[in-house]
A and B are shown apart, each in its own frame.
Chain A
Amino acid sequence: MLRAGIWILALAAFLALPHGLSFSQQEILVFLVINILLVASYRLLTLTGEWSLGHVVIMGVGAYASALYTKELGIAVPLSMLLGGLTAALVAVVLSFPLFRMKGFYFLIGSFAAGEIIRLLWKRFREPFGGAKGIKGIDPMPDFSVGFYRFDFFEPVSYYYFAGIVVGVCLWVLWRIEKSPVGLTFHAVHWQDKLAEASGVNLRAYRTLAFAIASGFAGISGALLAHYVGTINPNSFDVEVMVFVLTWAIVGGTATFYGPILGCIALTVLNEIVLRELGFEQMRPLIYGAILIASILFLPDGLESLVQKLLRRKAAPAKERVAE
């Protein structure tokens, strides 16, 4: 009952949010929704204990793939997005062969190198990737109407609703995976890979599975971006964006599903609304760096730890935590 109320409230907030915002703020809202999917998919990868520096490039794989499928093969836009996600997942499976020979720090460096190689390929091959200039004039999402609402994708509000629904469904799937026995196995692989192995868990398969799923959803977020902005190039997915993703995840915390999302929202609000109003947005990397250091020093468990404290105080007698 209470749950249903909260969901209805959240839905109302989602629908009402863009109204009363300026055009540029509405645009930011679209990016925020896309970035939420990006950072939530990143968390799934971190469940198995691996942190990658190639996630944003994988997002780019989805963006390039979806853009090219529409341009070269004439595939309709929403379907191309799905195929873009699949392509990103497939690329991840291929990359997993060299990458999962490494662990921890070496995996981090290896994933960075793999990402740079992919970016180099985009730059090097004019056909079909467009070289350093990238791809321009990517097909937009075609307008359509669902009776009571007309999606006009020239308007950011329409795209915000569309992306919001896509991201909502993706988050739901990610949530279901995390709360399933598969998610528990990811945790097991992270905390004690030896014991997991002795319990019959195929470590390689599960690491690859997490990598592929995370990459697939990152690819969908990239496709959402590509068909909104209409132009992408290798620099849209460079390491600076990756640093933002890491900052969102670390500032928000990665122990809970909502932690990274919280970090993404908080920093976007701070950055786009507060800093932009003050005219500081040029200093974004500097300020992000400062926030990252401050949060590691003063809030090592992320924003989520504040929420957890709040919730715990409410539900005073801690209930027995039982796996679903």
Chain B
Amino acid sequence: MTTFLEIRDLTMRFGGLMAVDHLSFTVEHGQIHGLIGPNGAGKTTTFNMISGFYKPTSGQVLLRGEDISGLKTHEVARRGVVRTFQHSTLFAELTVLENALVGTHMPFRPNIFAAIVGWDKEDRIGAEARAREALEFFGLDHLAGERAGDLSHGHQRALGMAVAYASHPDVVLLDEPFTGMNPEETRRMMGLMRNLRDSGITILLVEHDMQAIMGLCDTITCMSFGKFLAEGGPKEIRNHPAVIEAYLGGARHVA
């Protein structure tokens, strides 16, 4: 059996800086997989390579055995790998529903000729149903008519995930979804992610909130200075000497 998502020897060099250095790990289908590491470890860069924003200097990203590294972002998305962004990135000028409708672009590909003549009624109805379903999933249905830019921070993050969810992804890459959330919002978001996993979506999660990571993840990969450091379940990682050293070392470095 081929592995679901495999990162193999992935490397990204920015000039003299090795942001990601021969990183390898695999993600099992149906899991919440955490990717942690101190600031600047290369987590976002790894996401950018998996999702096609950056072309890796070397190495591969294999989805069900197919090499998807070097594909364009929309091509990666069409293979089922959809990302969200570290900062709330939304269509601020559009309504919440319209944001989710953009998310349905892949399952309901617009056709300009059908749209002009009006032969795309079914698709439009289907797309709106899917968009509303996504909003409902993330508890945003009552905000459908609001301008996305006017939402609270927590709702904006949820909408970012709803846009991704609307596209029927196989894998979502979530970059620090908990930043700036209060404990109540964090707790709710954790529930939503479990629902997401239980609906069959694999999640690759970058997060600094250790409580959330430890509470959510089935497997955790820890990296530091672009390199693989350790991997295991929450318990193993929590007690792993190299991980503790990396974080304490990082802390000392910052202090």
Contact A182 B163 (CB under 8 A): no
Which of B7-15, B95-103, B233-241 lies on the face that meets chain A? B95-103
Contact residues in B for A213 (Cβ distance below 8 Å): 112
Contact residues in A for B194 (Cβ distance below 8 Å): none
Contact residues in B for A123 (Cβ distance below 8 Å): none
Please give me the residue from chain A that is nearest to B114 by CB atom: A180
Contact A202 B74 (CB under 8 A): yes
The answer to whether B190 has its CB under 8 Å from any CB of chain A is: no
The answer to whether A203 has its CB under 8 Å from any CB of chain B is: yes
What is the size category of the interface that chain B forms with chain A?
Answer: 35 or more
Most buried by A among B74, B93, B164: B74
The answer to whether B219 has its CB under 8 Å from any CB of chain A is: no
Please give me the residue from chain B that is nearest to A176 by CB atom: B116
The answer to whether A188 has its CB under 8 Å from any CB of chain B is: yes
Which of B22-30, B56-64, B75-83 lies on the face that meets chain A? B75-83
The answer to whether A303 has its CB under 8 Å from any CB of chain B is: no
Contact residues in B for A173 (Cβ distance below 8 Å): 116
The answer to whether A105 has its CB under 8 Å from any CB of chain B is: no
Contact A322 B85 (CB under 8 A): no
Contact A199 B77 (CB under 8 A): yes
Contact B112 A180 (CB under 8 A): yes
- In the complex, what's the smallest C-beta–C-beta distance from A199 to chain B, in angstroms? 5
Instruction: For the complex, give the distance between the alpha carbons of A181 and B98 in Å.
Output: 10
- CB within 8 Å for A195 and B116 given contacts A184-B98, A184-B101, A200-B74: no
- In the complex, what's the smallest C-beta–C-beta distance from B110 to chain A, in angstroms? 4
Contact A181 B103 (CB under 8 A): no
Interface of A is mostly: helix
Contact residues in A for B97 (Cβ distance below 8 Å): 322-323
Instruction: For the complex, give the distance between the alpha carbons of A192 and B90 in Å.
Output: 7
The answer to whether A196 has its CB under 8 Å from any CB of chain B is: yes
Most buried by B among A176, A194, A199: A199
The answer to whether A198 has its CB under 8 Å from any CB of chain B is: yes
Which of B120-128, B179-187, B195-203 lies on the face that meets chain A? B120-128
Contact residues in B for A313 (Cβ distance below 8 Å): none
Please give me the residue from chain B that is nearest to A255 by CB atom: B93
Name 18 A/B residue pairs within 8 A (Cβ), A-sorted: A177-B112, A180-B116, A181-B108, A181-B115, A182-B111, A184-B101, A188-B91, A192-B89, A194-B85, A195-B85, A195-B91, A195-B102, A198-B83, A202-B72, A321-B95, A322-B145, A323-B98, A323-B128
The answer to whether A72 has its CB under 8 Å from any CB of chain B is: no
Instruction: For the complex, give the distance between the alpha carbons of A182 and B115 in Å.
Output: 8
Contact residues in A for B46 (Cβ distance below 8 Å): none
Most buried by A among B89, B108, B112, B127: B112
- In the complex, what's the smallest C-beta–C-beta distance from A186 to chain B, in angstroms? 10
Contact residues in B for A201 (Cβ distance below 8 Å): 74, 102, 105
- In the complex, what's the smallest C-beta–C-beta distance from B123 to chain A, in angstroms? 8
Instruction: For the complex, give the distance between the alpha carbons of A31 and B120 in Å.
Output: 35
The answer to whether A191 has its CB under 8 Å from any CB of chain B is: yes
Contact A200 B77 (CB under 8 A): yes
The answer to whether B144 has its CB under 8 Å from any CB of chain A is: yes
Instruction: For the complex, give the distance between the alpha carbons of A202 and B109 in Å.
Output: 11
Please give me the residue from chain B that is nearest to A175 by CB atom: B116
Contact B74 A197 (CB under 8 A): yes
The answer to whether B51 has its CB under 8 Å from any CB of chain A is: yes
Contact A195 B89 (CB under 8 A): yes
Contact A200 B106 (CB under 8 A): yes
Instruction: For the complex, give the distance between the alpha carbons of A198 and B101 in Å.
Output: 14
The answer to whether B94 has its CB under 8 Å from any CB of chain A is: yes
Instruction: For the complex, give the distance between the alpha carbons of A11 and B85 in Å.
Output: 49
The answer to whether B73 has its CB under 8 Å from any CB of chain A is: yes
The answer to whether A209 has its CB under 8 Å from any CB of chain B is: yes
- Closest 7 CB pairs between A and B? A180-B115, A320-B145, A181-B110, A200-B106, A200-B77, A197-B73, A188-B102
The answer to whether B167 has its CB under 8 Å from any CB of chain A is: yes
Instruction: For the complex, give the distance between the alpha carbons of A323 and B144 in Å.
Output: 10
Chain A stretch 137-194: residues in CB contact (< 8 A) with chain B: 173, 176-177, 180-182, 184-185, 187-188, 191-192, 194
